[in-house]
Structures are given as C-alpha cells and as structure tokens.
Amino acid sequence: MILTLTLNPSLDRAVEVDELVRGEVIRATSAHLDPGGKGVNVSRALLANGVPSVAVLPCGGDEGGQLVRLLADEGVDVITVPIAGRTRSNITLAEPDGTVTKVNEPGPSLSVVEFEAVTARLLDTAGSADWVVLCGSLPPGLAVDAFARLCRRLVDAGLRLAVDTSGPPLRAAAEAGAALVKPNREELGEVVGRRLGTLDEVVAAAQQVLAWGADTVLASLGADGAVLVDTAGVHTGDSPVPQPRSTVGAGDALLAGFLAAGAHGPAALAEGLAWGAAAVSLPGSRMPGPGDLRRQAVRLHPRPDDLQQLVNQK
C-alpha cells in the first residue's frame, strides 16, 4: 500500500476554451471538476491502475466535503482531518494547442494543533505502507522546520519516503534522507539556485540534491520527458503526446507510475513516463487508467559515460 499526504488539497475545475483572450467573455467548450492536490492525484492514479493507496488530507468547509465525496466516487480510501479553514479551489484554463493557464488559491492555514492531528493520523497508518508520499505545497504559515521534522520522523521510523514539493521544503526533505524526491526542472533549479537549461545541468543539479542526503532524484522535464538520477546511474526518457490536452497532474501520474513499478531503474522510469504522458492526453486533472497507457510510445535514452561517472562520484 502507498500512503499519500496532501497538506494543501483542492477542488480542481478545468475549463476548456477555444482561445484565452484577456478581458473578454469566453464561452467554455467543456468543464470538469476533479479532486486536486499532488498527493491526492498520486493516490487517484495508483487506484485507477489497481495499486492500493490511502490518501491523508486536511479538509474544511463545503469545499472539503465536496472533495471527499468526489474521492469516494472514484473509490479512493481517504483519511480526513477536519480543519477550521476552507479547502481551496483551483481553476485551469486549457486551450486546444495544449496551453494551460492555472490559477491556484493559497489554501487555508493549519494551526499547530491541526498539523499535529494530521501528523498523528499519518503516522498511525504509515506502519503498513510500502511508501509514504508527501506531495504539494505547504499550507500558508506552516514552518519548513515543522515539515522537516515530519520527514525525519518518517525516515527514522524506517519508512521509505518520497517527496514532491519545491523550495526550502524540498531541500529539507533531501537533508532528512528521503528515499526519493521528484521536482520538475524549475523546482530543481530553484532549490540549487541556478537555471537549468541543458540535460547535463539537470543531472548535475540532481547530483547536488543526492549529496544533501536523498537516495534518488526523479526530475520531470515536461515535453522533454524525465531524468532519473541515483548512485547507480543516470537514465533519461520521454514519451511524445501527439495531442496534449492538459499538463495538470502529469508529474503526479509520473510519480505514481514510477512507484507502482518498483521505484528503481529504467523499467520504473519507463512506466512513470507512460503514466505521465497518458495524463497529458486527458482533460483537466483526470488520472489515467490501464486503457489510457501507451507504453510502446516510451523512449529511453542512453547517457554518455562522462555523466555516468559524474553520478558515481557521490
């Protein structure tokens, strides 16, 4: 079983339009309302493909209740922690050429008592988990130190920890000894403090994160695919999508597929790429099921020896 925690979940409304024109009244061609939040999406993708998962999340207000009902409709096993604030709502505007404009609300703050309650529910369930996955942004006002302590508690308990977040929390997770971190290119560049243009620069940045304490870095590169870096080597690949519809949740599907396939080596990377590409071909933040996967479209690329030697210098 894979246990996920989303500290800042959401309702995600995706609206498809012919063209986004600022200041104009635009008629939507379709609309979808889905459960949202990175960890929520990981659980949804896993369950859609028959992999057991449980999602832990704080919920508040009518929006929180609606989020739980939508997850129940998808068969997601949810552990909720009531909070005083209102669960956020996000809006995605998708154009036919694949351009996506996303507006995310900041979300509610968590009090110290509420965060401790979330932590307690997570730890109560974590003992039976193969992986514990912490995903998404931190709620407004939650200290990075509090997140770092949670990561250390999970690692010290002998649990395999995967983290998909950004900024100081991403570095905190690596320094806590997370088994896996999954930034995108921009998040990886932000955490190491430099722009990452080439694949060589991405690999070097991932190696820096390994030096902080993480075991594995899975970096998503958008249309360029993904790169997997650990002490055993470097693997890269992509999976072209002829007709992209929405990139929302694609990185979450990538992570879910990678975990479902064992979270190690090129075979797991290939599965993750198939899941991520399938998500891009679907509207809104829908997660792919078995019928959406095009594994034959995945392409893995060998890396030059000099990059292999770079990784082995840890």
Residues in the chain: 314
Is 229 a residue whose pLDDT tops 50?
yes
Tokens of 164: 């998909």
pLDDT tens, residue by residue, 231-272: 889 999 999 999 888 888 899 999 999 999 999 999 999 999
Dump strand ranges (E) for 119-177: 131-135, 161-164
Mark whether 252 is an active-site residue.
yes
Query: What is the per-residue pLDDT for 307?
Result: 43
Q: Which amino acid is at 185?
A: R
What Cα–Cα distance (Å) separates residue 140 from each residue in 103, 108, 238, 243? 16, 7, 34, 36
Indicate which residue of 12, 230, 238, 252 is catalytic: 252
Is 276 a residue whose pLDDT tops 80?
yes
Confidence of residue 305 (pLDDT cuts 50, 70, 90): very low
Is 303 a residue whose pLDDT tops 70?
no
Tokens of 104: 């995310």
Mean pLDDT over 272-299 rounds to 94
Looking up tokens 């997601």 gives 76
Question: What is the overall mean pLDDT for the chain?
Answer: 93
pLDDT tens, residue by residue, 79-100: 999 999 999 999 989 898 878 8
Residue 267: CB partners within 8 Å, gap ≥ 6? 261
Which CATH number describes the domain made up of 2-311? 3.40.1190.20
